[in-house]
Amino acid sequence: MDALPPTLEATGSGCHGGRETMLAAAGAAGKTAAMDQLMQDYPRGPHDQPQSMCPAFGSLRVGLRMRRVATILSGSACCVYGLTFTSHFYGARRSVGYVPFNSETLVTGKLFEDIREAVQLTASPADYDAVVVINLCVPTASGVPLDLLPKQVDGVRIIGIDVPGFGVPTHAEAKDVLAGAMLRYARLEAEAGPVARPRGAVEGQPSVALIGELFPADPVGIGALLAPMGLSVAPQTPAREWRDLYGALDCVAAAAVHPFYTASIREFRAAGRPVVGSGPVGVEGTAEWLEAIGRAANLPSQRIDLAKARALPAVQGALAASPIAARVTVSGYEGSELLVARLLVEAGAEVPYVGTACPRTEWSEADRAWLAARGVHVQYRASLEQDVAAMEEVKPDLAIGTTPLVQRGKELGIPSLYFTNMVSARPLFGPAGAASMAAIVAAQTKGRERFSRMVGFFEGVGTKDGAGYGFTGKPIDPPGFRDRQRKQRLARAKAEEAVGT
C-alpha cells in the first residue's frame, strides 16, 4: 500500500485537518470513485452539511441491530470510543471490534493487514452470517482499501464500507451506506442461485418492502392497510437479519418511507422493483399512498378502492376525535419530518416551518409539494441555526426538534420535545398515528403557562454573571478587577510571544 498522502502526512493534522484537507487526501489515496459516489448519493447544500453526531454511528447502529452480524471499526481511538459509548447508550448489548493503528502502521500499509487478520479471526460461521468493517475518517482519507478484503471467509460474508464524516453528511444517511451495501451483496447472491428462506414468509402472497427505520408497531399498522389489496409487509430495510434482505428484495414494490435511502433504492431498482415515495399519513396521505402502491403492484382498481374504503374512515375518525389546535414547528434528522408535518396539518395544526437534516430527493417531493401548497416552509439540509431562528420568529405553541433546539425552546418558555425520543418512538401511520400525534401535542402544549412562570421565576439564574451556587444577589466584581485581568492576559501573551521568537 502507498505511503500516507502528503496532505495528511505533512500537516500531521489527522482527522482535525478539515473537510477539504481530508477530501484531498482521500482523492490522492485512490478513493476518488468512492467519495464521488457518496457525494452523488448524499448531496450537500445549501450549506456544507448539518450539525450531527458522527455519521458512522448510523452504519454502526444498523450492524449492531442485526442478528449474527459482527462489526469492526477502523479509525482513531477517540472516535471509536465515542461511537462505542453511544452505541451502548442506545442499547447495543454487543461488542464492537476495533483495529488500532499508529502513524507507522498507517503509512506502511500494516493497518490493512491488521484489518484482514481481524476479519479472519472474527469470521466464524458458527457465530456470524456477516462481518462488517467500517473505515472512519483517517483510514478513508489514507486510502485503506477495504474493497481488497475477501468477499467471504468460511461462508461468512465480508462487507467493507467507508463512512467518513467528511463524505457522509448525517448519521441517518450512514444507515443507508451499510443497508445499501448489504442489499447489493444479497441481491447478487439471489441472482446467483437459491438463498435462505426469510422467517415468517407467506408463500404466494405479494409483499411491499418498507425502507427506513420505523416504530415497531408501524409495519403492523401498514400491513393492516395493505391487507385488503392482498398485500403483506416484507422484511424491513435496514434488516434485522441477513435472510430478511432476500425477503425485502422479493417484493412487488418498495416504499421509500424515509426518502434518503438512495443506495438502498438503487438496489431495489436493480432488482426490478418499483419504488414509491411518501407514506400513509392522514386521510389524503393514506389515500395517495395506497393508490401509488396499488399501481406499482399492478393491482386492479377494485382492490385499491377496497383498501381505501376500509382505511380512510378509520383515519378520518381518529383525526376528528383528536383535533389539534396549535401552532407547531417541526425539525429533526430522522427523515420522517415531512410526514409528521403532513399529519399535524391534517389534524388541524398550523405548521409554518419544517426543517430536516436530510437532502431533497424525488421520494419526498410529493410531501414537499403538499406542504408548500398549504403555506409550510420546508427546509432541507436545515442547520440548527435555521431551526432555532424559525422557532424564535414563529413563537409556536410547541417546537419539535433536536436536543439543542429543545434546550433553546425551553429557555424561551416554549414547550418543546425531542423528535427522536418522543415522536419517532410512537406510531405515525394509519389511525394509530393520528391518535398518537394528537396526544403528544395536547400533553405538551397545556404546559405553556407553567413554562412561562418558570422562566419568570428563574430569570437570570444560572446564566452569565448569575451562574454558580451560593449567591443571594448578582455577583459584583471588585473595583478594577476586569481591567487588571485584561492587562495580565496581555502581558502573558507578550511573554509567550517573546519566548517563541
Spatial distance between the Cα atoms of 252 and 219, rounded to a whole number of angstroms: 16
Residues 466-491 have pLDDT tens digits of 565 555 566 677 888 888 989 999 99
* pLDDT score recorded for residue 470: 55
Q: If pLDDT is split at 50, 70 and 90, which confidence band does 434 have?
A: confident
Q: To the nearest whole percent, how much of the chain has pLDDT over 90?
A: 63
Residues 136-148 have pLDDT tens digits of 999 999 999 999 9
SS3 328: strand
* pLDDT score recorded for residue 220: 94
Q: Is the pLDDT of residue 356 over 60?
A: yes
By 3-state DSSP, what share of the chain in percent is helix, strand and coil, each rounded to 5?
A: 50, 10, 35
Which residues, listed in sequence order, are joined to residue 161 by a DSSP beta bridge?
Answer: 134
Instruction: Tell which wins on pLDDT, 412 or 187.
Output: 187
* pLDDT score recorded for residue 447: 65
Residues 296-348 have pLDDT tens digits of 999 999 999 999 999 999 999 999 988 888 999 999 999 999 999 999 999 99
Q: Is the pLDDT of residue 9 over 60?
A: no
The predicted model gives 421-433 an average pLDDT of 89
The side-by-side arrangement of strands in the sheet containing 253-256 is: 232-233, 207-210, 253-256, 275-277
* pLDDT score recorded for residue 397: 92
| Sign of the alpha-carbon dihedral angle for 484, 488, 490, 491 | positive
Find the DSSP H helices in 250-364.
262-270, 282-296, 301-321, 337-346
> Model's pTM, two decimal places?
0.85
Q: If pLDDT is split at 50, 70 and 90, which confidence band does 130 have?
A: very high
* pLDDT score recorded for residue 482: 85
Q: Which among 46, 49, 74 has a CA at the least distance from the CA of 163?
A: 74
Q: Is the pLDDT of residue 193 over 60?
A: yes
CB 356 within 8 A of CB 252: no
Q: If pLDDT is split at 50, 70 and 90, which confidence band does 463 have?
A: low
The predicted model gives 392-416 an average pLDDT of 91
Q: Is the pLDDT of residue 411 over 70?
A: yes
SS3 211: strand
In the block, cell 412487488 appears at 252
Q: If pLDDT is split at 50, 70 and 90, which confidence band does 501 have?
A: low
Domains of the chain: 6-169 (3.40.50.1980), 207-320 (3.40.50.1980), 323-454 (3.40.50.1980)
Residue 318: Cβ within 10 Å count = 21
* pLDDT score recorded for residue 495: 85
Q: If pLDDT is split at 50, 70 and 90, which confidence band does 34 have?
A: confident
* pLDDT score recorded for residue 473: 62
* pLDDT score recorded for residue 4: 40
The predicted model gives 74-102 an average pLDDT of 88
The predicted model gives 271-299 an average pLDDT of 96
CA atoms within 13 A on the CB side of 343: 31
The predicted model gives 2-13 an average pLDDT of 42
Residue 121: Cβ within 10 Å count = 11
* pLDDT score recorded for residue 306: 96
The cell for 220 is: 403492523
Residues 164-173 have pLDDT tens digits of 988 899 999 9
| Sign of the alpha-carbon dihedral angle for 291, 296, 301, 306 | negative
Q: To the nearest whole percent, how much of the chain has pLDDT over 70?
A: 89
Q: If pLDDT is split at 50, 70 and 90, which confidence band does 5 have?
A: very low
Q: Which among 209, 223, 229 has a CA at the least distance from the CA of 273?
A: 209
Q: Are strands 156-162 and 152-153 parallel, antiparallel or unpaired?
A: antiparallel
Q: What is the DSSP letter of 142?
A: T
* pLDDT score recorded for residue 74: 94
Spatial distance between the Cα atoms of 287 and 315, rounded to a whole number of angstroms: 10
Q: Is the pLDDT of residue 500 over 60?
A: no
Spatial distance between the Cα atoms of 286 and 280, rounded to a whole number of angstroms: 4
Q: Which of 4-13, 61-70, 145-154, 172-181 has the lowest mean pLDDT?
A: 4-13
Q: What is the DSSP letter of 419?
A: I
